[in-house]
Chains A and B, each alone.
Chain A
Amino acid sequence: MLPTELLLFRVRAGLVEPRRLRPTTGNLGTADMLIQTFEAHIGKRRHELDEELRALEAGRQDFRVVRGLAHLLANRGTFEAGGHVEPGHVRARVFALAQDHVPSRRHTAHLLEQAARALSTDTPVSPAEVAAALYADLPDQQTLVALDAPTPLELIQLYDLSQAQGMLYRAYSLVITARRNEPSRYKQLLKYLKFFGLMVTVEGDADVGFTLTLDGPTSLFGSTTRYGLALAKFLPALLHVTKWDLSAAVKPRRDLAWVDPKDDEWSFQLTSEDGYVSHYPEPRDHDSALESGFVERFAKLDTGWVLEREVDLVPVPGGVILPDFRLVREGRSVLVEIVGYWRPEYLRKKFDLLRRSGRTDVIVCVSERLNLEKAGVDPSDFGDRVVWFKGVLNPRDVLAVADRVRPA
């Protein structure tokens, strides 16, 4: 992500549009030039790199773009203090020696010689080396030792994404309209929501799509940008979800001279088709062998039922659950949740949420290896909508129940 001062955007009729580079020859060239500059400075001091970068950006209209790209590259670099004398040690020695005199530039060379003698062990140290080592550990004196170099295209994608993320730093909340799609990959999205301490309100159903409103606990008492950073970090996770529109209310940047002081809210909008690329890992299609085995076996069946993965967000008080599968046949649908091995408190919570959802069209498949009684779970509420299985879950058993379940 980028610091606020490197964010570039314009505002049109209250809509903020982050700067996008797009992979034109010119932009790819700029990215390539910067990557090469960084690579050429592996083994050199940071201030040399910084000077080179300043020279590169000088006089360019787009110097802030260059600076932004360089910032993202620097984040992928490893900087370390070099040299064979430890700077902190050198400072302690030099300053201790310097205490005998009233500081004066006339004494400096002499003191450095004294310090060099004192610091020389098996390897002799010169006064010049002492002077160089004095602040070798400062950030701008450190050496670029390694670079996790992206390709020019990846750098431009990262830049565009970072600019879009930056628009959310000052967001009060974020509304996602998710259109009907399969697979929708909501699971990772929900995980990230939890991870970043965000709250979600879900409305809608699997056939028409959902509206998800994201904010945080204290958003209830008034608009707050407290969760802006979390929303920004969340954006790359959302990019793995297909078919959505996003709209965020953003607090205007009053600190900028060109901003109309009458603006009291900006809006930031994005869709899944805007071509942003996530650098978060792709979610795996199935998170357990149990589920992928079920899908494989289901594919071999000759049945009128269609199996959809993770398409239905079921709102429950205090959150949302995402059943593993949805079975659809001639306008009817049932949800399928597979409960494999889990810790007792997870099981309790899972069953509690399923119960609180109030849905009567959920089939729960439970491994016989689970000791539900010990976990304090009573599956009898689900009546005949429970499918017990040993090791392997047979899709036929699930379909047999599905045929009986009344539509919701």
Chain B
Amino acid sequence: MRPTLRLDRGTLVLREVPEVVACWFTWDARSQNHRAPGASYRPVMEALRSAGVSVVDEAAVFSKLELGFARDVTPYPHQMAALRAWKDAGRRGVVVLPTGAGKTLVAQLALRDTPRSALICVPTLDLLQQWYAGLVAAFPDTNVGVLGGGSHDDTPLLVSTYDSAAIHAETLAGTYAFQIFDECHHLPSDFTRVIAQMGLAPYRLGLSATPKRSDGRERDLDDLIGPVVYSVAPDELAGDTLADYRETIIRVKLSAGEQRRYDDLIRQRNDFLRLQGIRLGSLEGWTEFIRASGSPQGRAAMRAHREAKSLAYGTEGKLRVLEEILATHPSARTLIFTDDNATVYRISREFLIPAITHQTPVKERHAMLENFRSGDYRILVTSRVLNEGVDVPEASVAVVLSGTATEREHIQRLGRILRKSEGKQAVLYEVITEGTSEERVSQQRRGQWSPGMSAQDIADHYLDLNAPD
């Protein structure tokens, strides 16, 4: 009797293991059978086939897709090269392309040439919408489904957020022959890597502009997806795919009154710290400050620190500059970025500019982006939700009102306007407040400043701390 290969909650199960695949399986005394991670499906099946051993495969329930490709686009040479490299590598691996260089088309071509049930994982709800719209346009006869953001479809071509795909990893494991990971540096985290580990998918494609992670786990992508099969840097493409852009930094000075207030608050805080012998240069110092903020004096110092921080971000001054920039570009498609939701909504309320944050309902978000694309809305203000690879091709002006210090964010924000649009030079404004610690954050964001953490960085992260009391 032929052995039967079954799938149990993201693992492959065999009652008896043929010798040629024994190395992938482990005896499971709990269930009295042999078990292997779902991801070993491909090497197991390949080994069985080359040894001429036949099994009953009850594990994989892949389906064929009828993908009528309804796009008359000529791929750029780098897109064709990426596709070829991925296919030559056995349809497994990571393609590294700068934001704006058309990763989505590479994926659509890979789908066209690998017409099997496919799961596409994306990090944000915006990307979910964007992939959905893109796939519907590319494959109009195919039923495209969405998992995440309130939708729970079950279709052979499915776009999901990483979180939803991880939550449902066990049920998705056997259905998809092809896994595509957009912004694939998200995959190696503890919570999401199970999508790749449990999934049987013999074909895998990772896409990223910057596969780097702060924890170095991008190395795991080799196992989870496959090695980098194609890579190209932004400057190799500038002028070809990407529009030239100009970056303008505007320094906002606090008004004399604001500056006095700021200095005053910082003095208040520092007096307290000195009295307590706390040095804010380190994480321990910051933890001590939080502990000390239980006392009335400590509370006052913490309040002073917070108010100084909010002054440093100089919202009022920045809004004055924003108004000026908007007047300078009275007809340009413009995106405004700020770091915190409160400022997004403040700008939206005060200027009556449509806003998108992570709180915006999915459908409304989609409609807003559509309006922006079509030109019905000329300006959008947003927090970090548009950061990664969301395709807003028509934007030619971007205004960054404040930011946090991570390199990737900066690259990807720039990427938003690095789109070739006829005869247009894109402008990126970065509005920062002079004479406060925030300046260093901006420098770090552009890779110019990095020694250790500033008190500001630590302040930005202080809620993650969890000291016992």
Contact = CB atoms under 8 A, between A and B. Distances in A.
B466 A253 contact: yes
Nearest to A17: B468
Contacts of A88: 361, 364
Interface string A1-14: 00011011110000
A366 B373 CA distance: 69
B469 A62 contact: yes
A108 B349 CA distance: 8
A220 B28 contact: yes
A102 B469 contact: no
Contacts of B37: 218, 221
A26 interface: no
Contacts of A108: 350-352
Nearest to B37: A221
Contacts of B352: 94-95, 97-98, 103, 107-108, 111-112
B32 A317 contact: yes
B466 A7 contact: yes
Interface in A222-271: 225-226, 253, 255-258
Interface in B1-44: 8-11, 26, 28-33, 35, 37
Contacts of A58: 299
A251 B30 CA distance: 23
Contacts of A99: 376-378
Interface in B266-293: 283-284, 287
Interface in A1-55: 4-5, 7-10, 19
A199 B469 contact: no
A19 B467 CA distance: 12
Contact of B10 (A112, A217, A318): A217
Contact of A220 (B26, B32, B349, B467): B26
Interface residues of A, number: 55
B209 to A, nearest CB: 26
Nearest to A251: B190
Nearest to B36: A221
B447 interface: no
Contact of B30 (A4, A19, A199): A199
A104 B349 contact: no
A102 B327 contact: yes
A192 B32 CA distance: 22
A135 B287 CA distance: 36
Contacts of B354: 91, 95
A329 interface: no
A103 B379 contact: yes
A279 interface: no
B68 interface: no
A97 B376 CA distance: 11
A135 B352 CA distance: 12
B378 A258 contact: no
Nearest to A112: B352
B172 interface: no
Contacts of A253: 466
Contact of A5 (B9, B31, B464, B468): B464
Nearest to A63: B294
Contacts of A97: 352
Which of B29, B32, B352, B354 has its CB near the most chain A CB atoms (within 10 A)?
Answer: B352
A88 B308 CA distance: 35
Contact of B349 (A9, A135, A139): A135
A128 interface: no
A215 B33 CA distance: 16
A139 to B, nearest CB: 6
A406 interface: no
A255 B464 contact: yes
A375 interface: no
Contacts of A137: 361
B31 A59 contact: no
Given A95-B377, A103-B326, A258 B287 contact: yes
A201 B181 CA distance: 36
Contacts of B262: none
Given A8-B469, A62-B469, A257 B284 contact: yes
Interface in A184-240: 197, 199-201, 216-218, 220-221, 225-226
Which of A9, A62, A131, A218 has its CB near the most chain B CB atoms (within 10 A)?
Answer: A218
Contacts of B422: none
Interface in A132-160: 134-135, 137-139
Nearest to B347: A103
A387 to B, nearest CB: 30
Nearest to B32: A317
B224 to A, nearest CB: 14
B465 interface: yes
Contacts of A98: 352-353
Interface in B107-143: none
B296 interface: yes
Contacts of B296: 59
B235 interface: no
A121 interface: no
A349 interface: no
A166 to B, nearest CB: 11
B149 to A, nearest CB: 16
A380 interface: no
A91 B352 CA distance: 9
B458 to A, nearest CB: 10
Contacts of B350: 105, 108
A78 B30 CA distance: 43
A287 B28 CA distance: 32
A217 B8 CA distance: 8
Contacts of B349: 131, 134-135
Contacts of B284: 257
B463 A5 contact: yes
A390 interface: no
A144 to B, nearest CB: 18
A131 B283 CA distance: 42
Contacts of A9: 468
B29 A201 contact: yes
Nearest to B331: A102
Interface string A77-119: 0000000000010010011111100111101100110000000
Interface string B153-190: 00000000000000000100000000000000000001
Interface in B424-469: 463-469
Which of A62, A98, A103, A253 has its CB near the most chain B CB atoms (within 10 A)?
Answer: A103
Interface in B318-372: 319, 323, 326-327, 330, 345, 348-354, 359, 361, 364
A61 B294 contact: yes
A284 interface: no
Contacts of A59: 294-296, 299
A64 interface: yes
Contacts of B467: 256-258
B53 to A, nearest CB: 23
A60 interface: yes
B198 interface: yes
A258 B291 CA distance: 12
A154 B422 CA distance: 65
Contacts of B26: 220-221
Given A59-B299, A103-B326, A318-B31, A256 B466 contact: yes
12 contacts: A5-B464, A60-B294, A91-B364, A99-B376, A102-B327, A112-B352, A138-B345, A200-B30, A201-B30, A220-B30, A258-B468, A318-B31
Closest 3 CB pairs of A and B: A317-B32, A103-B351, A98-B352
Given A104-B323, A199-B30, A226-B194, 19 more contacts: A5-B466, A19-B468, A59-B294, A59-B299, A91-B364, A98-B353, A99-B378, A105-B350, A108-B351, A134-B349, A138-B345, A139-B359, A217-B8, A217-B9, A218-B194, A256-B466, A258-B468, A317-B32, A318-B33
